[in-house]
Amino acid sequence: MKKKTKLFIFSTLPFVILMLTCILSINIMELSNESIQIFMVLAYVVAGISILFSIWFHHSRVFFCTLLLVACQISLTIALQSPTRVFNRLDILIYWISILLPISIAIFTFLKERGITTVWGLLKAFLILSQILLVYIDLKNESSAVSKIDFYATQNNNHINAIAIPTISIVIIVGTIILLLLKYMIDKSYIDITMVAVLLTLFIILSIFNTGRIDRINLLFCSIYTILALAVAEASYSMAFLDQLTEIPSRRALDQEMMKLGRSYSIAMLDVDHFKKFNDTYGHDVGDQVLRMIASVISEVGGRGKAFRYGGEEFAIIFSGKTTKEAFLFLEELRVKVEKRAIIIRGKERTTKKPKNKLSANRGNKRVRVTISIGVAQRNERYRTPGEVVKQADLALYKAKKNGRNCTKGAI
């Protein structure tokens, strides 16, 4: 599956889940108390799965977001089941949730992963506990702090039908969503787009709170926890099977893919020519830039080929159902693309002032090109296993190196 296709699928999946949940919740009729309890338990079970996933894979952002959302769900459930006995002011509960939750989610998302049991993790836990304590104290206080804020004109709205999301809360939710979308456009991180879906779901939950339909609310919370659990699964998959530098499948993914191959396939091995010398001349940062460039080119290989980083400056491509002759054409196309792609190395003497024209801007910069050598082999009666085919492709690659580099050779 191509990188752009994967990105599209993972980016839209949270919203597909949200849309399906909304359709399901709209069509749910009034349920019995037993059915409502089932929905509630289901939501907590999925929340538990999300928490376990985040602990197992050390994903602190999802862990603390899930904890905060569980606290929110418990508060809303208690408010709906016994409002007057527990909370004096339901409108104030909605106010605090709609203000604090988006801000907390934004904080957790923008902070880097620093573990759950570290000092940063303890600070996040303290943030959650302090918010719960703040809301609880304010709810028990007859003279609530919220009532004294000018922009939140309210009366004693303990009647559930009179409760609505405050304007300031809508502004904060929309602003947070915009910030997360901008972050996603820059980082292309699945967790960012996941949090956008979480905030949209939260907005729907708060919007339908005045209907008193606790079954719908629990179902929507269940979708939130599902989205978060999938975010952890995707992040864990990326760490295990994607190369962090080039962002293409790693050697581990290659080994797994070779186990699924049938009886007809070809495997190509690619190597960057004179890469060590290039690294020694221009530095490892530029070397990394070269590897990322080559990975971006070979990831778009035709012939339904799948590209992997094999290790160091070496890459591999699997052509399922293709002979060496058929794969050769696509490999030559790749080799030419890499040869024509230039790498710009910025000069050491760079000014912080804006250049007057393009000529002065490019002064001191150097354009260099790299080439690749390719060896390809196919499964046949003599070489039956993927490991044997890889060895033959390596021998063909060695032949390409001996032949002057920047060429493609097939195994005999």
Residue numbers annotated as active site: 313
Q: Is 305 exposed, middle or buried (0-12, 13-18, 19+ CB in 10 A)?
A: buried
Q: Which amino acid is at 255?
A: D
> What's the CA angle centered on 317, arms 316 and 321, to 5 degrees?
145
Q: What is the C-alpha separation between 397 and 410, in angstroms, rounded?
A: 8
Q: What is the C-alpha separation between 186 and 110, in angstroms, rounded?
A: 13
The torsion of the CA quartet 392, 261, 304, 271, rounded to 10 degrees, works out to: -30
Dihedrals φ, ψ of 276, to 5°?
-60, -45
Structure tokens at 134: 């703040």
What is the greatest pairwise CA distance in the chain?
87
Q: What is the C-alpha separation between 403 and 373, in angstroms, rounded?
A: 10
231 neighbors 335 (Cβ within 8 angstroms): no
290 neighbors 343 (Cβ within 8 angstroms): yes
Report DSSP state, residue 30: P
Look-up of token digits 């502004």: 171
Q: Which amino acid is at 81?
A: Q
Count of residues in the chain: 412
Beta bridge partners of residue 247, listed in sequence order = none
Structure tokens at 158: 């303990």
Report DSSP state, residue 364: T
Q: What is the C-alpha separation between 216 and 155, in angstroms, rounded?
A: 27
User: Residue 348: CB partners within 8 Å, gap ≥ 6?
Assistant: 364
CB burial string 91-113: b at 16+ within 10 A, e below:
bbbbbbbbbbbbebbbebbeeee
Q: What is the C-alpha separation between 177 and 172, in angstroms, rounded?
A: 9
